[in-house]
Structure 1
Amino acid sequence: MSEPLAEDQPPARKSKLPLLIGLVLALLLGGGGFYAVYAGLLFGAPATADAEEPELEPLPDIAFVPIAPMVISLGQGGSARHLRFTAQVEVTTTHEDEVTLLMPRILDVLNGYLRAVDVRDLEDPTALIRLRAQMLRRVQIVAGEGRVRDFLVTEFVLN
């Protein structure tokens, strides 16, 4: 005969020991991984708070000579528009006084060039790079070779 099923007995309980072991191992491995990365054992040099600052190179021997703000009238008749323009000339400090002395000639060249440029060219956002290069070349010719290093446009407002 077969034995009757015991309905009185509760089902067998599963052990929570594997879950507990897995949790402890996960914490240990996570902590070990964090320490290995933090200490620099895995990825590069150790992270220290008092790391050496990189030595900076000294700035080149330059000076900036400001160009007085210019308002240039553009167009003809009733459709006249204006351009407000400000710039600075980058020079070496040895040539700063010479370029400052030549500023009236530089203003005259820039004023003549900007008045001759078509308004459509001034409205084009990408034209500023070309205009800047043209103005730099003209200022270099007026100031003499080797005196002017760069030309920086600081304000260019067209109304």
Structure 2
Amino acid sequence: MADAVAEVPEEPIKSSKKPLFIGLILALLGAGGGYFAVSSGLVGGSHEDGSHNATATTPQALPDIAFVEVEPIMISLSGSDRVRHLRFRGQLEVEAPYQKDVAHVLPRVTDVMNSYLRALELKDFEDPAALLRLRSQLLRRIQLVVGEGRVRDLLIMEFVLN
């Protein structure tokens, strides 16, 4: 015959809420500790006055610079069946106290630029990095003529090869 076993329904085990409260307390302590670490500069760099927004909205002052325009230069290039011309116009970024000094020796700067550009051939301009190389070479020559520390950069305003 069939065994008639009476099954007793199992009662669900009540879970304790104690781990939930411990987890919540630990999460709050971790969040508070993280906030303190970031705001005090222990993590993520330090802020001198403790506020990140004050440094983000205040831009740094621009350096004391001036621009001296170089007369446009027109160069005929060799290395082709037909004559090609390069039209070059630029400005020199100089320290403001040296603006008059640089303007005074501008004819020498133009001479150095003419000499370098006339030595180039048409194939020198075919490289994609030609303008970058040309700019650095011209800047170095200009700095030698004018003197170290006076000219910060050469800005190319017009560079047309036709």
- Give the TM bin, normalised by the shorter chain: 0.5 to 0.7
Letter in 1 for 2:113: L
Name the residue aligned to 2:75: 72
Name the residue aligned to 1:97: 100
Asked if 1:152 is matched to 2:140, the reply is: no
Name the residue aligned to 1:41: none
Structure 1, residues 110-141: CA drift from partner, whole Å, max 9, x if none?
01100101211123332111110000000000
How many residues matched?
A: 109
Of 60, 63, 68, which aligns to 1:60?
63
Percentage of identical aligned residues? 52
> Which blocks of at least 5 consecutive residues in structure 2 are unaligned?
1-52
Shift of 1:76: 6.6
> Which blocks of at least 5 consecutive residues in structure 1 are unaligned?
1-50
Name the residue aligned to 1:31: none
Asked if 1:133 is matched to 2:105, the reply is: no
Partners of 1:77 and 1:56 in 2: CA distance: 50
Partners of 2:78 and 2:115 in 1: CA distance: 14
Structure 1 residues 140, 57: CA separation in 2 closer, same or farther (over 3 Å shift)?
same
Question: Secondary structure of 1:79's partner?
Answer: coil
Letter in 2 for 1:135: L
Name the residue aligned to 1:115: 118
Aligned 8 A contact 2:79 2:123 in 1 = no
Letter in 2 for 1:98: D
Aligned 8 A contact 2:79 2:121 in 1 = no
Letter in 2 for 1:142: V
**Superposition TM-score, scaled by structure 2 size:** 0.63
Alignment root-mean-square deviation, CA: 1.9
Partners of 1:63 and 1:129 in 2: CA distance: 22
Partners of 1:151 and 1:119 in 2: CA distance: 22
Question: Secondary structure of 1:57's partner?
Answer: coil
Of 83, 88, 92, which aligns to 1:85?
88
